[in-house]
Structure 1
Amino acid sequence: MTQIWWIWMSIAAAFIIGEIFTAGFFLLWFGVGAAVAGILAILGFGMAWQWGAFLLMASVLFAVSRRFAERFTKKQPLGIGADRYIGEKGVVLEEIDTIKNTGLVQIRNENWRADSDTGDIIPAGKKVEVIKVVGTHLVVRILSEGG
């Protein structure tokens, strides 16, 4: 058991190398935790201390980094990406029927797959408004005759 620190350091290296090939800072914290556990093993602490330090360090660093990231990461504003179509008006090119999984609308000069917000069938030719984007489909509602 005196050579357990090699195992911890190998695990730390594997996590840190894995972090290089992945997005985010998820594996890095496990690598740091394993390195701390390896240091405790070198100092002669028992397995309970090593595991406790590994889990505590990884958990605390993960929690702190999440809060830090949330503080500086801004939610994408409306009008960026597909969300720019919310509120836009268009026309149904192909009947929107959730059961048949059909529906095509033209918004501006682009054609999009569409779903009805109520699940009702919307016939071709009707004017609609986009209320949200779900995946690659626009969710639309039918406009009143005056809208």
Structure 2
Amino acid sequence: MTILWWHWLSFGLILISAELFIPSFTIIWFGLGACFVGLFVYFSPGSSFSVQLFTWTAASSVLTVLWFRLLKPKMVDKTTAGMSQEAILGEVGMVVKSNATPLEKGRVRFTLPVLGADEWDYTSADLFQPGDYVRVSGIDGHVLKVEKT
């Protein structure tokens, strides 16, 4: 049986489709390699199966290495989603409920909601009165640590 160009193209599309069900982001490169071999065989139909297999292995390997070594490291997630510490540090808010002692919790309100809420409990070594502005210096669970601005 002779392997035709459309066999490789079909095999490549099956592998690319399999990526939808097995999200490893590796199978897609072997599928693209098979599609490349399909194009190669289309333009040089006399190539032997061993040459086709070597071309598929080489193309798949090159694409996989390019992805994992060059492209993927540049796609680092730079958002602070899911990292409350980084998202809230340095935010300035207004005290709406004072803390009578350094161990007591107060309440601070932000102009724009921070991590889904515009009011948060806070603790501080300093005592604040309603209307004072404070800056977030840390977070401990659901309680902010604040300091004077």
TM range, normalised to the smaller chain?
Answer: 0.3 to 0.5
Q: TM-score, normalised by structure 2?
A: 0.44
- Greater CA radius of gyration, 1 or 2? 2
